[in-house]
Structure 1
Amino acid sequence: MLVVTTPDITPAQLDAIREHVEAAGLRTHVIRGEQRIVVGCIGDDAALVEDGLAAMPGVESVTPVLKPYKLAAREFSAGPTHVRLGSAARPVIVGGDALTVIAGPCSVEGEAMLLETAHAVRAAGAVALRGGAFKPRTSPYAFQGLGREALVMLAEARARTGLPVVTEVMDPRLVELVAEHADVLQIGARNMQNFALLSEVGRVQRPVLLKRGPSATIAELLMAAEYVMAQGNRDVILCERGIKGWDPATRNTFDVAAVPVLKAETHLPVLVDPSHAAGRADLVPALSCAALAAGADGLIIEVHPSPAEARSDGPQSLDLPAFDALMARLRPFAAAAGRTLPAAELAQVAEVAA
């Protein structure tokens, strides 16, 4: 339920409205617009339907929100949400005018390859570094990541380059450990409906990158985001990474329509992962351009110095020259969409002191 206030509402009247709603067992979320304040009522609002809420001083209208997701719904925000990554001194804003490109290896395989990749993607214009420390694999015999050792390497790469770090967390018991080393906690597609994990990352003050499950509907993705936001963490970034299809020509089917649907349904920023959608490096540039044309706020791309030697997802990873070429190709698409990309020449800087 949304309570729209009058333009001249007083602080005392606003407090009285919130107390009235919370006395009925609901939580309140204040949305401050340019001309109106809106109070979002979160919970079972049946107790408020028949009472005198609409007649309270300062209330202009009361509107029920029929969507199952409340905090993630577009109506619950005065405008698009901007999620800040990294330190206050060098922030990266996801969801603003500038497109966000996150790049790096599927998994961290060693310090040298990680640093080589981090410097190269930054030089090409990427603003954050991805890299898996803990890897969920279909086969229990496949490379599962270096774990804690990789987290230390990611933190060192951030110290050397200044790039915020994005890495996946798979276990509620490891959330605090990963949060100590990473700037963004990624929830992978396999864990999109791991509700214990979603609730746990919701209690940590770190942005969350939430990937759509391979068989999940858009509504289910938004309900997963609601689990995180309901615990108090509103810094959620959604990611479309392809859904299961019947054609083996690609690893997944890139649901390009999901991007504008999500932009209409939610205030949260939306990224696209063309690497997992394609499963083939040669298709990543085309899908990246399509994502920006559809309105995505950015991309998360797998990049490896030598994809043929990668221990995971080599066929879908771009090598360093290919990523540099992709960033150059994306610039006219970004301009056509009314967005910007960081200039490559500005990204070529010396190592940041630890």
Structure 2
Amino acid sequence: MRKYPFVIALAVAGSSAGCWTEGVSQLYSCDDPCYGLEEYECDDPCVACEGGCLPPPPLGFGDPILLWTGDAADEAPVPACPAEAPDTVFEGYAGFGAEHACPACRCTEPSCELPRGLSGSASAACDGTAPTSFDAPAGWSGACAAPAAVSSGELGSLLVHAPTVSGCAPAIDAAGAQPELPAPWRLRARGCAGAAGKHTCRDPSTMCVAAPTPLPAGAAMCARYLRPGDAPECPEHYPELRELYQDYDDTRSCTPCGCEPIEGSACTALVSTYEDEGCGQLLGAETVTLAGPKCVAGPELRFASMDALWIKDEPGTCAPTGGVAVGEATPRRPVFFCCQSAEVIDVP
């Protein structure tokens, strides 16, 4: 209370009380205990601290706030600020990881594919213009097929196409890491504050700070360091240093999955042509490989059906590429807090 020598302040309303100090009398009313005084001049003797009575931080620090920190791996959301300190005054992160995992890449298995069919030509050397195509059924397994019936005299040769190898397709290993990158930080933080009469503690060496009693799990009373630069040396009453960040740059990614060229392929098929539609009267048979087609020469071929079987079915393999972690997460805008090590605050 402010002291005025030889002055009596009369109560203006409600109940009144008073004190006598070294010949000075100060009377006050609990309805208006600071009548005529500035806020910083008056310690209200009628109001109890609604929060915690804490030692004020030294110069260079802000007023204490309620700071919650929690594991970011927990799927639960960041808790809302409590009713006693409802204002969110800080959001931050900590525990940035230097590495990230990428999904494992794989390649689908290649396969030997039977020739797509035959081409007929009037020439006896399979080199005629405007050849006639006799396509095999889609997904042909080699069973007897009759794409068309051509009578004698219409064909001078038949070109049996070469087998092929289906390409390897890149894919993600379902048993590996998920494609989505996790959050780059391990900890989340939230600072909460509220209105409280600073001068409502019985001990004049402490200040009143808005906070619930007891503190929520994971929360502590902390003072933010306001000066730029390196981390501070924390004061006696707030000994625990916490380094948090308000933002970050995230350039993390994974190289796309791909497949190397197929190696070790050996596909050999025996393709037979027939004069009847039931693959009973053999016209000719040719062994074809990946090296290229074969020609069945006439003259005057009578073609009606065909079948095929594998002599060597070794499609080979292809190696996967990609799935390499690149980039990093870089924290920005560091903020330092000095906190009370115990999660308990003094009561007024």
**What range describes the TM-score normalised by the shorter chain of this pair?**
under 0.3
Larger strand share, 1 or 2: 2
TM-score by length of 2: 0.18
Asked which structure has the greater CA Rg, the reply is 2
TM-score by length of 1: 0.17
